Amino acid sequence: MTILGFDFLVIALAAWRLAFMISHERGPFGVFETLRARLPLGGLTSCIFCLSVWTAGTCLLLWYTPLAVLVAVLALSAAALMLASWTGLMVYVEGNQK
């Protein structure tokens, strides 16, 4: 299987976003927080480095199915967050979350 540049970028962004959401965010209705508490898997769910291997595989498999739109949404979310971080907006947003 050959992964072209665009596909690689989308899958990589989506994998990072999914790994970050699971390992660091609370999530809607605390779903990721609950997942980390109830299913620690030896620290897998709280380690972005460990989790990224599994999310990358998941996103790669989904990219070649009709569920590719979910991977694209995750990639767009990751790109938006990176742009916010690069422009300094993320500091403003993080300071006002509580």
- Domain of residue 81: give its range: 5-95
**What's residue 37's pLDDT?**
92
Burial (CB count <10 Å: 0-12, 13-18, 19+), residue 69: exposed
Q: How much is the pLDDT for 95?
A: 53
Q: What is the pLDDT of residues 36-86, one digit of tens each?
A: 999 888 888 889 999 999 999 999 999 999 999 999 999 999 999 999 888
Is 64:4 a contact under the CB 8 Å cutoff? no
Total domains in the fold of the chain: 1
Scanning 1-98, the segments in alpha helix (DSSP H) are 5-24, 31-38, 48-63, 68-87, 89-95
